[in-house]
Amino acid sequence: MSTFGAYLEARRPVDDRALDDRVFEQFAAALAAHSAGDDEPLRIVEVGGGIGTMIARLVERNVLAGSVRYRLIDREAALVDRAREVLPDWLEAAGCTVERTPTGLVARSRPQSVASGSAPGLELEVILEVGDAFTVSTDGTGADAVIVSAVFDLVDLERALPWLASALQPGGLCYAPLTYDGATGFAPVDPLDDRLERLYHRHMDEIRDEPGGSRAGRRLVGSLERDDQPFCVLAVGGSDWVLRPHERSSTVASAERVVLGHLLETIDDALADVPVSTVEQRTRQRWRDRRERELEAGELTAFVRHVDVLARRDSSGE
């Protein structure tokens, strides 16, 4: 398993806790409304779906029911391969029977009685695909929902939003949770923190090869609400990480340590690309060494700001 794949697995409980419940529940209710009374499968496309944690989350939380066709697309073949390995186990743990297919898998669950009535069973076809979602074609019918989790800080919105409009059917949903929005901090405070955070964001905005930027959350909301975009923003909420492994149970603590270590490495790699005249190597090394010691000693807390966004494509289709 790749190091990044291990990081994504560690993120799963961290993201579960961070997601804004109000936005998630509104997304779940809107999905249910899409599938009610429709004989066609509910069609979901996930951009940058990684190892499939969102699919597992939706099944575990009983968001999906009836016939669902879920297309997961990621640029990294290693992550899609990892999804083929771990997703069947996650779905079986959630109560499904799983059949592997050449393109992914089919998961089924029986109807269950619940307090409010009868919960329908699930037949979930998952298609796992390697590619750049913003260049692949849709199937011509338009998706009921597109999920873009922790991706919009890595893409060009001017390119992504037209694709999103074309990928969704009129009235279709875009759920964009865990979109980074311009704040990363630590406790205990270090005198270098503010300066290094500014340089970290400068790397996102000006230096790295990838598009996107450090204030993707607010830019996404503003762009979706522009008059020339065919979207209506339904809900916005915060999904901040507060990583404090020394206060967590053993399983969550282990995951948070992996995520914190990856965060420190990501910041250090970004700072390494900043001109030496701006930050000396020994300065950033001194800062990272301190943070690594604090992490090892159970003294480090990290704060990372994210935004969850739920939007709908205009029903007119214009």
Contacts by 194-202, CB closer than 8 A, 24 or more apart: 195/279, 196/267, 196/271, 196/279, 196/284, 196/287, 199/270, 199/271, 199/274, 199/278, 199/279, 200/267, 200/270, 200/271, 202/274
Q: What percent of the chain has pLDDT over 90?
A: 82
Residue 92 domain-assigned (yes or no)? no
Residue 200 domain-assigned (yes or no)? yes
Q: Are 299 and 246 in contact (CB under 8 A)?
A: yes
Residue 220 domain-assigned (yes or no)? yes
What pLDDT does residue 315 have? 82
Q: For the segment 116-166, what is each residue's pLDDT rounded down to a tens digit?
A: 444 578 999 999 999 987 777 666 679 999 999 999 999 999 999 999 999
First to last CA, the chain: 44
Q: For the segment 78-103, what is each residue's pLDDT rounded down to a tens digit?
A: 999 999 999 999 999 999 999 999 99
CATH number of the domain to which 14 belongs:
3.40.50
Amino acid at residue number 266: T
Expressed as residue numbers, the domain containing 302 is 3-48+133-313
Here the tokens at position 238 are: 């915060």
Residue 112 domain-assigned (yes or no)? no
Q: For the segment 6-55, what is each residue's pLDDT rounded down to a tens digit?
A: 999 999 999 999 999 999 999 999 999 987 666 789 999 999 999 999 99
What pLDDT does residue 1 have? 59
Q: What are the Cα distances from residue 18, in Å, to 97, 160, 163, 240, 295?
A: 29, 25, 28, 6, 20
What pLDDT does residue 249 have? 77
Residue 137 domain-assigned (yes or no)? yes
Section 275-294 average pLDDT: 90
What pLDDT does residue 250 have? 83
Please tell me the number of Cα atoms within 13 Å of 193 on its side-chain side.
13
Residue 100 domain-assigned (yes or no)? no
Residue 89 domain-assigned (yes or no)? no
Residue 265 domain-assigned (yes or no)? yes
At 242, the pLDDT band (50, 70, 90 cuts) reads very high
What pLDDT does residue 135 have? 76
Query: pTM of this prediction?
Result: 0.94
Report the domain count for the chain: 1
Output the average pLDDT for the chain: 92
Closest Cα to residue 309, out of 228, 217, 223, 181? 217
What pLDDT does residue 115 have? 44
